[in-house]
Amino acid sequence: MERVRIYIFPPLNRKILRIDYDFDFTLLGIISVLKDYRLCFYLNKSLIMNFIRSEDLQLTNENDEEIYFSTFYCFLEEGEIEFHLLANKGDGGFLIPEKKEVDYFLKINKLPTGEEQKIVLALRKIPAIQAVVPINPNTLKSKINLLF
């Protein structure tokens, strides 16, 4: 008969902090040759919104160099929906490196169910936008860059 030894260690006096981030937002990838301010002009016109320039999003790359990404913000009071237009290409890298083909991300907080498809269809009608792709943020490696 084989004997099994069980060791019981006293509990250690350390606490573990676990942070669970909430990626509960809609994310659309936009492919367009437009400059960011021109894209906002078309978004304001076609979606009847009021995007305004925000402070650039600042990240640090693996070489400790700062990279800046242009951002635009719009808030709709009815439904308290927040829209953030983020440039994927900064002055020294990508916001989401695994999606290099995407030029801009449209991050939408608190979007009611069923509204995503309406926004995608409206964006696809803009002639200067080549493609609009819904993206699941939970599948991205660098999804933490979308939290600010």
Q: How crowded is the C-beta side of 36, counted as CA atoms within 13 Å?
A: 22
Three-class SS state of 135: strand
Q: CA geometry: angle at 126 spanning 123 and 130, to 5°?
A: 85
For 83-130, what is each residue's pLDDT tens digit? 999 999 998 899 999 999 999 999 999 888 888 999 999 999 999 999
C-beta separation of 78 from 87 below 8 A: no
| Neighbour count for residue 27 (Cβ, 10 Å) | 24
Q: Which pLDDT tens digit goes with each residue over 16-71?
A: 666 666 667 899 999 999 999 999 999 999 888 999 999 999 998 778 889 999 99
